[in-house]
Chain A
Amino acid sequence: MSLDLTGRVPATTETRAFLADKSPDKRSKLIDKLLAGAEYARRMQEYFDVALMDRRADAKVARAAWEEFLRNSFAANKPYDQLVREILANDGADPKTRAAAKFFLDRDLEPTIVTRDISRLFLGRNVQCAQCHDHPLVNDYLQEHFYGIQAFLNRSFLFPNAQDAKAVIAEKAEGEVSFISVFDPKKVQKTTAPTVPGWKPIADVKADKGKEYKIAPAKDVKPIPAYSRLAQLAAAITAKENVAFGRTAANRLWAMMLGRGLVHPLDFDHSGNKPSHPELMALLADEFAQHEFDVKWLLREIALSKTYQRSSELPKQSGEMPDDRYLAAVLKPLSPEQLGYSMMQATGLTDAFRKDLAAGLSEPTLQAKLAPHLGAFLRMYGNRPGEPEDGFASTLDQTLFLKHGDHVRSLITPRPGSLVERAAKLKEPGEMADELYLTIYCRPPSDEERRDIAELLRPAANRTKALSDIAWAMLASAEFRFNH
């Protein structure tokens, strides 16, 4: 749960304290504590940054400003629909709010990609294959859906041009989308007004001739139309009646916690791909909307549920156990951020920084220290920029990064405050085993495990080296790699 809500494994002291706590409501108290903490906001910022931006290069909006915008939004528990509106109703012109426009700007406002990603992220429909014809495999996704979304954007463009790092979004007062299906033998050219799939088209408000612009286009002048199609987008997408919005949001938050969406894959909500638990999906979507899209409320409900708290351990006599039945918890591979932060926490680097910062310790100052060390993990485990995180793959590069790479080795190397150094100072091998397990696996070792590890550590000579090797083996093991 610490991984889900703060993005890292708990510190050893936190683990020990929780295990020792005997109060019956220690779980819900911990949930509240984690949700209230600054690390929650950081974790949500990271998760949504990757979801919304797919690790694209920072070209037109600085990373720091965007992260701050997201972090502040989650710290303040901004309603999710408001957050999305701030992202979609932003032309980037006001420097105070420009960061939120990153969604558009760092996609260069490329119409095909923006259309696909709005549909995918906020409506749960990946309509990419519906650009040239009705989707060949999903009956519910039509070409007119693709262009219905694109019609919100088609009059907008980056001013002065797409290469300018300070570009803002400008808009013309005219222009229609046009599309032909490549499978249509008659090659009929069609058009559509801006439309959210399933809802009525939003007709343009026609201005009188000569009054189409507030500021007319001219050389080096950013045009502002009297009626803006783009301005209709945010409200249309987040409208309460547009159930797909709340449903997609609830599904993604569920997936963040449980490792799998009720609708799976996340981007393919359609009648041929029913949620694993349709009533639960409808309930979550409905309640989320009723609660004004309160993110902390939803995460708390999920965290308190029996489903979430169910162990991933297989019962001895298990029959059919498909993932989508949640009979045991799904083993979730750590995200690149979770992996990096957890390695740094487990090896003691994070605590060393905490100690260094002393009175100056705050979430942002700690982040500043950790960020340079996180980069290697993001590069190695993150998706390619612009591509959605797509399932788990264990690549040769990653394996060699763990086996031979400098980065991980230097994390494990003994130094003041590090795990290995701390464990080496303990008296008994059994205690060392406890420290290792509580720190890396966040659980005490079983008797057999304690014996095995103690055995390896019994020779006094080269104990530090043995501890380093054991720490490496544990960090490289499946138990650490997966959240269970």
Chain B
Amino acid sequence: MKPCDYACHTGEHLVNRRLFLGGAAAGVAGFAGFTAPAAARELAAGQKRMLVIFLSGGVSQLETWDPKPNTDTGGPFRAIPTSVPGIHISELLPQAAKRMHLLTLVRGVNTAEDEHGRGANIMLTGRRAEAGIKYPEVGAVASNLLEKTNRELPGHVQITPGGGSGFSKEDAGFLGPKYASITLADGKPPADLLRPAILTSDADREREALRRKLNAKFALSRRSAQTDAYTESFEQAAKVVAKADAFDAGREDPKAADRYGRHDFGRHMLLARRLLEKGVTFVKVTHTNYDTHHENFDFHIEQLSEFDRPFSMLLDDLADRGMLQSTLVVVMSEFGRTPRINDRYGRDHWSKAWSVAMAGCGLKAGAAIGKTNANGTAVTEREVHGGHLFHTYFKALGCNPTKNFLPDGRPVPIADPKAAAISEILA
């Protein structure tokens, strides 16, 4: 089989807005020769799916999952009891507290990376960036490992607060643009979604066939990551068009829209639920912003009040529909916030001792693993990093993250081989 490689061979020299060091934006060997190892597709019976809620900017673990009231770092908020005796979370999440029996908390996270871009990269790929390889983000991996054959809907969807995401769109890394995300800015269905009457489905099919043929010919001698992304976008678009209804949250019951809240994040979470129900394998919803160097407490009141209700409603709905045992939900940020409160009532970047919250597929519900010391300045028990979390997600989803991808025939473990799943929280 002739390998089809990029012109640059050593990979995609793509400008990642978050990678300021120009020289470091190295890419990977071409991927078209890649075959997904059959072993990596071991699945429990039934379709699984994953939802990531990304609290952008670095949510404070002390104002959410691991409060330390009345300490020198705790700030003014209370810790409140939850539906699980012995587990307390911040008073800013009253609705989530009532659903702790559905949640699994990981409180001993230490990712040792205080910069937004690199921190996000660790949390989304399960590894530190390395020269010479472009690791795929969790959504691309989930979409790849969990897909059924003949997938009708795009497998990897991102719902962002507005247009112009700060993260690179090349989020499938060496898995290729087939697994790259489709972004629904502000959760809106795109314009021109429906095929106009004047374009018959036959005509559409024929000219698409010709377009593909022309692109295939061109790719024999000229190809780059960008041309691949371009041609792949038509395949993704076709899927979206075929299932246009799925992308319109306006078709949901208005009562649901009220329950989730009519604000942006409420709408986005309702759309996420809809997409998951319709069969999208992976959805990531981003909530902005939590980077509270100034007035940490006021801003967390505001942002978490937007988060708490729709998050809780979505958990309820997944549970009611019997989807929670086959859906993995993860709430993450790029890092947490400093226990030390600065002189402007702010908290700064902090990755040494923070938390991630999860729910659903393959996890022990109502559990908390990992402990921090009395004022949250260090992990005292069961310290984990991005690699452990990445293993845990895919183990929980019934995959084997120690198996390899084979980009261009080169074996690359799905998750960081130096880490392993957090077995204590796996069901």
Contacts and interface: CB of A to CB of B under 8 A. Distances in A.
Q: Verify whether A and B have any Cβ pair under 8 Å.
A: yes
Interface of A: 126, 129, 135-138, 182, 187, 260, 263-265, 268, 272-274, 312-314, 318-324, 328, 330-331, 333, 383-384, 387, 390-401, 403-406, 409, 449, 452, 456, 465, 469-470, 472-474, 476-479, 481-482, 484
B420 interface: no
A403 B232 CA distance: 14
A174 to B, nearest CB: 27
Interface in B192-214: 192-196, 198-199, 203-204, 206-208, 210-211, 213-214
Contacts of A479: 214-215, 218, 222
A320 B214 contact: no
B237 A403 contact: yes
B150 interface: no
B23 interface: yes
Nearest to A128: B20
B422 interface: no
19 contacts: A268-B21, A273-B23, A312-B7, A314-B7, A314-B221, A321-B9, A322-B8, A331-B222, A331-B226, A393-B229, A394-B226, A396-B182, A396-B190, A396-B233, A465-B203, A470-B210, A473-B211, A477-B211, A482-B227
Contacts of A393: 169, 229
B33 to A, nearest CB: 15
A306 B8 CA distance: 19
B345 interface: no
A136 B113 CA distance: 12
A129 B182 CA distance: 29
Q: 7 shortest A-B CB distances, which residue pairs?
A: A473-B210, A273-B22, A394-B233, A399-B237, A400-B192, A473-B211, A469-B207
Nearest to B221: A313
A137 B20 CA distance: 7
A478 B207 contact: no
Contact of B192 (A319, A401, A469): A401
Contacts of A129: 20
Nearest to B195: A404
Given A396-B236, A476-B234, 17 more contacts: A268-B21, A273-B22, A314-B7, A314-B221, A323-B8, A331-B7, A403-B192, A403-B241, A404-B192, A404-B196, A469-B203, A469-B210, A470-B207, A472-B211, A473-B207, A478-B218, A479-B218
Contacts of A477: 211, 214-215, 218
A390 B15 contact: yes
Contacts of A391: 14-15, 17
Contact of B20 (A138, A320, A397, A482): A138
B234 to A, nearest CB: 6
Given A265-B15, A320-B10, A403-B192, A272 B224 contact: no
Contact of B21 (A272, A322, A324, A401): A272
Contacts of B133: none
B226 A333 contact: yes
B322 interface: no
A322 B30 CA distance: 12
B229 to A, nearest CB: 5
Interface residues of B, number: 61
A270 B23 CA distance: 11
B421 to A, nearest CB: 32
Contacts of B22: 263-265, 268, 273
B190 A319 contact: no
A305 to B, nearest CB: 19
B192 A322 contact: no
B219 interface: yes
Contacts of A409: 196, 198-199
B303 to A, nearest CB: 21
A395 B203 CA distance: 23
Contacts of A182: 293, 342, 348
Contacts of A322: 8-10, 13
| Of B192, B217, B234, most A-chain CB atoms within 10 Å | B192
- By CB atoms of chain B within 10 A, which of A312, A403, A472, A482 has the most? A403
Contact of B190 (A397, A452, A465, A474): A397
Contacts of B224: 330-331, 482
Given A263-B22, A404-B199, A484 B222 contact: yes
B230 A387 contact: no
Contacts, number: 170
Contacts of B408: none
A447 to B, nearest CB: 13
A292 B146 CA distance: 61
Contacts of B190: 396-397, 400
Contacts of A481: 227, 230
Contacts of B232: 394
B163 A384 contact: yes
A138 B21 contact: yes
Nearest to A273: B22
Contacts of B163: 384
Nearest to B10: A322
A392 B7 contact: no
Contact of A272 (B23, B221, B240): B23
A468 to B, nearest CB: 8
Residue picked from B218, B231, B240, B343, most chain A C-beta under 10 Å: B218
Contacts of A333: 226, 230
Nearest to B180: A394
B209 to A, nearest CB: 8
A260 B196 CA distance: 38
Contacts of A482: 222, 224, 226-227, 230
B183 interface: yes
A273 B21 contact: yes
A264 B343 CA distance: 38
A387 to B, nearest CB: 6
Contacts of B227: 331, 478, 481-482
Nearest to B231: A478
Given A478-B218, A479-B214, A479-B218, A403 B13 contact: no
Nearest to B20: A137
Contacts of A320: 9-10
Nearest to B189: A396
A484 B237 CA distance: 25
B115 interface: yes
A478 B22 CA distance: 27
B38 interface: no
B1 interface: no
Contacts of B86: none
B12 to A, nearest CB: 9
A469 B183 contact: no
Question: Which of B198, B206, B207, B348 has most chain A Cβ within 10 Å?
Answer: B207
Nearest to A394: B233
